[in-house]
């Protein structure tokens, strides 16, 4: 790789990461507005998540004297993980940091962020943080195997564990991509997206009922800049998970070339796909109540089984 090519890649990475960072709150706002309209409410402005984040950045921060360095480091670390992951995922063309886009690395960037969020929830010693953390770990334990299996099934078919390679390969093979294994994997990841983005029926992101919280519970002690970073990171994670799912399983529009026209078309496709999934998430939130906490394993197990079948199907029906 030449010097200038490397420089171009870095520039591209910065552009893509900036793009994801900027788009993420909009997706959140879109889901909220959509839900509000479905409920015959006006709802907050589409741009409200941006205002919120800006507001929190300008606010002072209260840090409990009982907390350790974990609470202080976590927001930056989580945000950093999400920003890094944003560079690894091919959105409408190959990933800018394709050389590092190993899917195991990608998934465990989320894992790292999650572990620190959980630790920060415990760190302040508040009851709600502890409850949120223990529930988050329970959900994580259930989600991770399913997610890894879904990705492995895709990797097996593509013959690579590089996300960028997998997705560009899928997108170039047209309708041949839609094997039974692919469809099973798509069904599996649909469930996992709900769980990973912390939405109903797994977690209720809009609740004020502390006792039912999972993700929100862990953030209760944060304020000011830290809260802004955590909320922003949550939005980014949501967008990345949606992007991963749609680009892996509906890879249309993702191009391998770096020409402007295919990239613009790819961008358009990408936005449509993301908003489509976001709308679906919003609709599910309207129609399903939160599932009882101890029924989550059943829900997640179905994702795991689908993923497992996807791996088998890949070997049986090719």
Partner 1 sequence: MNSDNEQFLIQPVSAAPRPTDSSASQVSLQELVPGLVQRWVDRGGQATTGQLNRSGNRQWSIKVPASSLADFCRHLLRSLPLYLITMVGLDERERSGSYRLYYVFGVDKSKEFLVVETEIKDGIPGSLLYQSITPLVPAANWYEREARDLFGLIPQGHPDPRRVVLHRHWPDGVRPLRKDFDGAYQPPFVLDDDEFRNRTGGEGIVEIPVGPIHAGVIEPGHFRFSAVGEQIVNLEARFFFTHRGVEKQVEGLDVERAVFVVERNCAACTVSSTLAYCQALEDLGGTVIPENAAYLRLVFAEMERLYNHVGDLGNICAGIGFHAGSQRGLFLKEELLALNETLLGSRYLFGLIRPGGVRRGLNHAGRWALREKLWWLREQNTKLVKLILGNDGVVDRFTNTGVLKNSSAFHLGAVGVAARASGVDRDERRDHPYGAYQHLQPTSIPVLQNGDVYARFLIRVEEVNTSIELLLQALEVMNQHFQEEPTLAVPLGDLPAFQSAFSLTESARGSNCHWLMTGPNNTLYRYRIRTASYANWPVVPRAVLNNIVPDFPLINKSFELCYSCLDR
Cα 193 from chain centre:
7
Of 300, 93, 283, nearest to 200 by C-alpha is 283
Among 67, 179, 207, 302, binds partner 1 (CB under 8 A): 207
Candidates 2-10, 24-32, 48-56, 283-291: pick the segment binding partner 1 (CB under 8 A): 283-291
Give least dist CB 256 to partner 1, A: 42
Cβ(247)–Cβ(167) under 8 Å? yes
- Examine residue 175 and tell whether it contacts partner 1 (CB under 8 A): no
Cβ(231)–Cβ(167) under 8 Å? no
Give least dist CB 46 to partner 1, A: 19
- Total residues at interface with partner 1 (CB under 8 A): 31
Candidates 71-79, 207-215, 244-252, 259-267: pick the segment binding partner 1 (CB under 8 A): 207-215
Q: CA 181, CA 310: separation in Å to the nearest integer? A: 4
Among 23, 27, 32, 35, binds partner 1 (CB under 8 A): 35
- Examine residue 123 and tell whether it contacts partner 1 (CB under 8 A): no
- Examine residue 59 and tell whether it contacts partner 1 (CB under 8 A): no
* φ, ψ at 118 (rounded to 5°): -65, -45
Candidates 44-52, 58-66, 92-100, 197-205: pick the segment binding partner 1 (CB under 8 A): 197-205
- Examine residue 209 and tell whether it contacts partner 1 (CB under 8 A): yes
Q: How many CA atoms lie within 13 A of 178 on its CB side?
A: 6
Of 219, 158, 225, nearest to 185 by C-alpha is 158
Residue carrying the six token digits 């009982």: 66
C-beta of 9 vs 38, nearer to partner 1? 38
Candidates 6-14, 156-164, 173-181, 205-213: pick the segment binding partner 1 (CB under 8 A): 205-213
Of 207, 290, 233, 300, nearest to 49 by C-alpha is 233
- Examine residue 211 and tell whether it contacts partner 1 (CB under 8 A): yes
With the C-alpha atoms ordered 88, 25, 61, 205, is the resulting torsion angle positive or negative? negative
Candidates 100-108, 116-124, 185-193, 206-214: pick the segment binding partner 1 (CB under 8 A): 206-214
Of 84, 72, 141, nearest to 109 by C-alpha is 84
Residue carrying the six token digits 């509906």: 250
Give least dist CB 139 to partner 1, A: 13
Candidates 92-100, 128-136, 172-180, 247-255: pick the segment binding partner 1 (CB under 8 A): 128-136
Restricting to residues 131-160, which ones interact with partner 1 according to CB under 8 A? 131, 134
Of 22, 15, 10, 16, nearest to 236 by C-alpha is 22
Among 176, 208, 261, 318, binds partner 1 (CB under 8 A): 208
Q: CA 210, CA 267: separation in Å to the nearest integer? A: 39
- Examine residue 280 and tell whether it contacts partner 1 (CB under 8 A): no
Which residues in this chain contact partner 1 in the complex, by CB under 8 A?
35, 39-41, 127-128, 130-131, 134, 200-201, 204, 206-212, 220, 285-295
């Amino acid at each position: 790789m030449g010097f200038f090519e490397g420089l171009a890649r870095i520039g591209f990475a910065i552009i893509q990461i900036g793009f994801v960072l900027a788009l993420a709150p909009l997706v959140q706002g879109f889901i909220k507005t959509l839900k509000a309209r479905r409920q015959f409410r006006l709802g907050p402005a589409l741009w409200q998540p941006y205002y919120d984040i800006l507001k929190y950045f300008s606010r002072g921060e209260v840090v409990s004297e009982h907390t350790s360095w974990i609470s202080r480091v976590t927001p930056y670390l989580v945000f950093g993980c999400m920003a890094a992951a944003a560079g690894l995922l091919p959105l409408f063309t190959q990933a800018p940091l394709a050389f590092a886009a190993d899917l195991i690395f990608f998934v465990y960037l989320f894992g790292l962020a999650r572990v620190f969020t959980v630790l920060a929830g415990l760190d302040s010693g508040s009851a709600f943080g502890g409850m949120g953390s223990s529930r988050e770990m329970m959900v994580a334990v259930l989600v991770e195997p399913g997610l890894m299996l879904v990705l492995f099934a895709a990797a097996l078919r593509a013959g690579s564990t590089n996300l960028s390679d997998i997705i560009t390969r899928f997108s170039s093979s047209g309708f041949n991509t839609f094997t039974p294994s692919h469809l099973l994997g798509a069904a599996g990841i649909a469930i996992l997206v709900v769980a990973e983005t912390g939405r109903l029926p797994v977690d209720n992101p809009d609740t004020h009922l502390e006792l039912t919280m999972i993700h929100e519970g862990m953030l209760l002690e944060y304020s000011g800049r830290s809260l802004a970073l955590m909320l922003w990171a949550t939005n980014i994670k949501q967008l990345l998970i949606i992007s991963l799912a749609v680009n892996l399983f509906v890879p249309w529009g993702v191009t391998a070339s770096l020409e402007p026209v295919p990239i613009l078309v790819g961008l358009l496709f990408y936005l449509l796909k993301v908003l489509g999934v976001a709308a679906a998430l919003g609709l599910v939130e309207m129609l399903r109540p939160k599932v009882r906490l101890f029924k989550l394993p059943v829900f997640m197990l179905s994702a795991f089984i689908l993923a497992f079948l996807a791996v088998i199907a890949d070997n049986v029906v090719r």
